[in-house]
Amino acid sequence: MKRGELRQTETVIGKDVERIRTRGDAQSFIYPYFFEGLAIYRALRKDPVVESLQNLFTSLTEEKLNLRKVHENYYSFCAQATEKNWPEYLWDRVLEADNILTQQAGCKDWDNLDTGLKSLAAHDLKSLQRIAALQPEELRRMVLERIEEYASVAEEPGLEWLERPEQWTLWVPQQNGNDQDPSRAGQYLEYCRNHVKKILFSGTEEEAVYELAGFYRKIGSGLMATGMAFKWDGKEKALVRVKPDPICKEQLIGQEREQGILLENTEFFLAGYPSNNVILYGNRGTGKSSLVKALLQEYYEKGLRLVELSKRDLTDFPLMIRFLAQHPQRFILFIDDLSFEETELAYKALKTVLEGGVEKRPDNVLIYATSNRRHLIRENFTERQGDEVHVRDTLDEKLSLSDRFGITITFPSPDQAEYLKIVEELAAQEGLTADIDQLRQQALRWVMMHNARSGRTARQFIDYMVAQQKIKG
């Protein structure tokens, strides 16, 4: 739609509104135009809650009023509006929209966005602001005024059970506080969403378009606007949002060398410079996975997103990267505890993913994997002594998988002194008031009774001590 066509459409709508303004039921006739005139956000009309409100307005504007249908549509909308927290729900759908504006705003700054596109978006947002401003009492009054014109309708046989419209229940928006993400990244996302929704509620349509464009560029659109961490669902062949681990790098003690290597490579990646896929190798509990997860809490403001996938989903990699390549954010694909048995062939898919496939890995995707094995594929002496003619070729193929990661970071297990240092620093972070000598003795007994020395064991011990201290008061 061109800008001239938009003005012409607005003129027609303006004449229609003026024509019905003299009627008592003018309000119920005006609102359908707000839905029908949507252009950029037209897909919102298919949303079930929006659709239920449209159905109510449609039933109110029918030439012959059907009170049964009005009653049904009114309570259908009220039930959904209460459950979904309308009108905030409407603005959530706007933030998570996927349309031509979100696509252009994701890769262009404000000055380079098409002017006509901005105008269409402003037109839509003005209509949506009118819809969102509709209060529960106003909607019920609108229904009542329309029904009063058809007083005889209430006397129709079979409708005696209907209460009078002025007694119809109002919808009560509910605040949904159960889905809060306590992590740094989650709080940042919540702040950005609330800031834009505040402008959508009370700002001008021009201000709303400007803030939305900035949100789509900085945070993302569609699924990306809903979270910072995702997991690949191999059955559904789609990404699903998950709450990220809130762990931060400051909580990982004794990893200065390892953190330095991984953070440097990640910063290269976020800056658009050449960077490497990374394999983090070491004994269990040494903080490999925790360090990868901590990257999200460190770099969320720079557009980093974390996507976890399992080795069984490696064959879905082409499908996944085609989706991620459409978004401006930077994605680390995280494969935890990566290893293969000798009978598994999925490692061949991973080799293609890392290097050598026809389909190029997009520049906004990098792979970080952790493993307890230095060589990712199990091998045994029978392979070396078997009857295969070219044994060396088979062994080289298996060993080459690790080589395809540009960087290997080794995580050694801490010695006793390092383990006790980790315990002491974690205790300080948690505010434990135990005597330092007693704390050390208990930490060593914990190791003997539970696991080997590691950062994870130290964390488990401190968690126990914190719980014990709280129980005792």
Q: Is 289 exposed, middle or buried (0-12, 13-18, 19+ CB in 10 A)?
A: buried
Q: Evaluate if residue 17 carries a pLDDT over 50.
A: no
The whole-angstrom separation of Cα 27 and Cα 143 is: 10
Q: Which residue has the higher pLDDT, 179 or 394?
A: 179
Q: Evaluate if residue 319 carries a pLDDT over 70.
A: yes
* Number of Cβ atoms within 10 Å of the Cβ of 335: 21
- List pLDDT tens digits, range 291-306: 999 999 999 999 999 9
- What is the chain's length? 473
Average pLDDT over residues 317-333: 93
pLDDT value of position 8: 43
Average pLDDT over residues 350-361: 69
Rg of the chain on CA atoms, in Å: 30
pLDDT value of position 26: 52
Which stretch of 70-79, 148-157, 388-397, 423-432 has the lowest confidence by average pLDDT?
388-397
pLDDT value of position 398: 55
pLDDT value of position 255: 94
Contact 196, 95 (CB under 8 A): yes
pLDDT value of position 251: 93
Contact 193, 224 (CB under 8 A): no
Paired residues of 278 in beta bridges: 368, 407
- List pLDDT tens digits, range 436-472: 999 999 999 999 988 789 999 999 999 999 999 888 8
pLDDT value of position 206: 95
The whole-angstrom separation of Cα 244 and Cα 297 is: 9
Average pLDDT over residues 186-199: 96
* Number of Cβ atoms within 10 Å of the Cβ of 391: 13
Q: Which residue has the higher pLDDT, 22 or 317?
A: 317
Average pLDDT over residues 229-237: 95
* Terminal CA-CA length for the chain: 67
pLDDT value of position 451: 75
Q: Evaluate if residue 343 carries a pLDDT over 60.
A: no
Q: Evaluate if residue 12 carries a pLDDT over 80.
A: no
- Looking at residue 73, its amino acid is N
pLDDT value of position 166: 72
Question: Measuring CA to CA, which residue among 299, 306, 227, 224 is closest to residue 266?
Answer: 299
Residue 180 pLDDT grade (very low, low, confident, very high; cuts 50, 70, 90): confident
Arithmetic mean of pLDDT over the chain: 84
Contact 303, 330 (CB under 8 A): yes
The whole-angstrom separation of Cα 121 and Cα 114 is: 11
pTM of the complete model: 0.84
Residue 264 pLDDT grade (very low, low, confident, very high; cuts 50, 70, 90): very high
pLDDT value of position 27: 57
Q: Evaluate if residue 259 carries a pLDDT over 60.
A: yes
pLDDT value of position 67: 84
Q: Evaluate if residue 225 carries a pLDDT over 80.
A: yes
The whole-angstrom separation of Cα 147 and Cα 282 is: 73
The whole-angstrom separation of Cα 62 and Cα 432 is: 70
Contact 429, 251 (CB under 8 A): yes
Q: Evaluate if residue 49 carries a pLDDT over 90.
A: yes
- List pLDDT tens digits, range 358-408: 667 889 999 999 988 766 555 554 555 555 544 454 545 555 666 778 899
The whole-angstrom separation of Cα 41 and Cα 120 is: 9
Residue 55 pLDDT grade (very low, low, confident, very high; cuts 50, 70, 90): very high
Q: Which residue has the higher pLDDT, 262 or 68?
A: 262
* Number of Cβ atoms within 10 Å of the Cβ of 297: 23
